[in-house]
Amino acid sequence: MNTSSFGQGAGQAGDPPAVALVRQACERASRTFQGELPAGAPAATLESVCSMWEAMELLKLQILLRLAQIRAEGNLLEVGGQRSVAAWMIHTLGTNPAQAHALATLAELLFSGKLPRTLKALGEGMLSVDEAATLAKTVERAVKTRDKNHSAFADADEFRRMIETRIVEAKTQRPAMSAQQMAQLGVQLAHEYHPGLAEERHRKAHASRRADLTRGFEGTCYFHAQGPDADAELIDKALAAFTKPHEASKPEVSRAERTYDAFLAMVKSALGHQECTKPPGPLAMVNITVPLDVFNGQRQKQAREQSQGPAQNGQKQAGSPQSGPMGTSPAPDGQGASYAATQDGQVLAFEALQDLAPDSVLRRVIIDPASGKPLDVGRGMRNAPEQVRVVAHYGRTTCAWEQGCDVPISDTEADHIRSYSRGGTTSADNIQPLCSTHNRLKWRRENNPHRQVYRGRKAHRTPHQHPDSESGTDPPPDPPSGPGTAPDPHPRE
């Protein structure tokens, strides 16, 4: 198989020196990808691609900063014909509008010095430009929704630095955190610092709830519904419960078709149980982690008291920038004790919890901050029981694949970090959530340890890796201990 070169030559007449150098570099680099891929070369090729991409990222960053400078000096409209960096990128560079707005936000905040930690992380290779753009967009969204009546959050620039610091620190602790997970963390932090935000959004969404059933002229129908995100959790779990697995003997159907069939099955089930005095048992489980002071309303009462007036004489308030939730450091991805959230990280309003509580099963989970290992069933069983999975997965919302994965935790499997067949125990500190793809890939790599594999971006590689991980040989570090230390049930991270 031959690969065509898309280079534009060593240079074009009239090119500035910098442009000519870039064209020459692109031409030389493109030649390395021509021809057949040698046997055993994929891992080395991926390493080269990663290094080349990081080099292009640095150039991309400088371009963005220069565009922000041109706009700040008032020349973008007069010379470039567009009012904003985003509009110029859309119409001149052909950039996707959503991406252009995110990159423009990043450029202007970096140029104005409002994201110093982000700029430093970009220089160290901890963040890509696209990740930084997501971070910038997430931070600005949190700034707009902050509680302006709170004395500690009145200054937009100070609040922006506070949110930026939390996200960059989380990325440093978990290098494989993706842009999507950073955006989710930003949403969680916005709720942490504004406890009433979830209630406001829930009430607005509930007030605007609606469902429309439209019949078409060609024998078709269209059903559209909108409402609070808490209802989405119930609908999602119900559809999953009624979705039938694919049968090999029947033609393949798409996920959308199977979802439609599940919706009709729900409707038929509801019609079939109209006269039942005893409703059928639950078909699905929605797992929600609720801090005790949120469940009993204490957190909401405290938030109302704070909104009525400023702190007295500099007294520290809950949710202030000096402290994390419950007086401890927050979990790396924001899943902590300052709000109620589903296992996939969706923040829920207190009103939604009140609606769900009467029909819920309550479980108490206590995390020992000294050891981080609150539950251990040894090697008595291979399959992790539910209570072990609850503790082992605490603080995570997605698959724990070391190089990053955005599969929600509700779609993952309980995997032994050190394989059960190699002496691993079925305990909370040896269980991690992996999606089916990465669970099986981990097994294949363990059984083929001599195959060369790509280890991920160098700046994202953790200093310690588990002996059974795909590439590391160092043992995992000991869990943190001591007063005020946040529990870490995932020593592999």
pLDDT tens by residue, 371-402: 444 444 444 556 777 778 887 888 788 898 88
Identify whether 82 is part of a domain. no
Report the number of distinct structural domains present in the chain. Answer: 2
Closest CA to 105 of 139, 58, 75: 139
Whether 164 and 125 share a structural domain:
yes
Least confident of 105-114, 178-187, 367-376, 467-476: 467-476
* Predicted pLDDT at 472: 40
Q: Report the distance separating Cα 365 and Cα 387, nearest Å.
A: 9
Q: Which one has a higher pLDDT value, 448 or 110? A: 110
Beta-bridge partner residues of 138: none
Identify whether 409 is part of a domain. yes
Whether 325 and 469 share a structural domain:
no
445 pLDDT above the threshold of 80:
yes
329 pLDDT above the threshold of 60:
no
> Which pLDDT band holds residue 345 (cuts at 50, 70, 90)?
confident
How many CB atoms neighbour CB 329 within 10 A? 18
Phi/psi region, residue 456 (left: phi>0; alpha: psi -120 to 50; beta: rest), is: left
Whether 204 and 329 share a structural domain:
yes
Beta-bridge partner residues of 433: 414
Identify whether 253 is part of a domain. no
Whether 346 and 490 share a structural domain:
no
Q: Give the pLDDT mean for 216-222.
A: 85
pLDDT digits (tens, 9 = 90+) for 276-311: 666 555 556 667 777 777 777 777 677 666 666 554
Give the structural domain span for 380: 363-493
Residue 231 carries which side chain, given as an amino acid letter? D
Q: Report the distance separating Cα 189 and Cα 338, nearest Å.
A: 9
Angle of CA points 215, 220, 222, to nearest 5°: 60
- In the block, tokens 């009433």 appear at 196
* Predicted pLDDT at 161: 93
pLDDT digits (tens, 9 = 90+) for 363-376: 665 555 554 444 44
411 pLDDT above the threshold of 90:
no
Q: Report the distance separating Cα 348 and Cα 351, nearest Å.
A: 8
Q: Report the distance separating Cα 240 and Cα 234, nearest Å.
A: 10
How many CB atoms neighbour CB 9 within 10 A? 11
Whether 328 and 372 share a structural domain:
no
Identify whether 59 is part of a domain. no
Q: Which one has a higher pLDDT value, 486 or 3? A: 3
Whether 332 and 375 share a structural domain:
no
* Predicted pLDDT at 160: 93
Q: Is 471:455 a contact under the CB 8 Å cutoff?
A: yes
Identify whether 341 is part of a domain. yes
Q: Give the pLDDT mean for 215-244.
A: 87
Whether 356 and 375 share a structural domain:
no
Whether 367 and 355 share a structural domain:
no
Q: Is 406:399 a contact under the CB 8 Å cutoff?
A: yes
Whether 330 and 183 share a structural domain:
yes
Mean pLDDT of the chain: 77
Phi/psi region, residue 414 (left: phi>0; alpha: psi -120 to 50; beta: rest), is: beta
Q: Give the pLDDT mean for 235-244.
A: 85
Least confident of 92-96, 219-223, 246-250, 307-311: 307-311
Closest CA to 190 of 137, 132, 147: 147
* Predicted pLDDT at 364: 62
Whether 165 and 290 share a structural domain:
yes
* Predicted pLDDT at 455: 73
Whether 353 and 435 share a structural domain:
no
Whether 441 and 367 share a structural domain:
yes
* Predicted pLDDT at 244: 80
193 pLDDT above the threshold of 90:
no
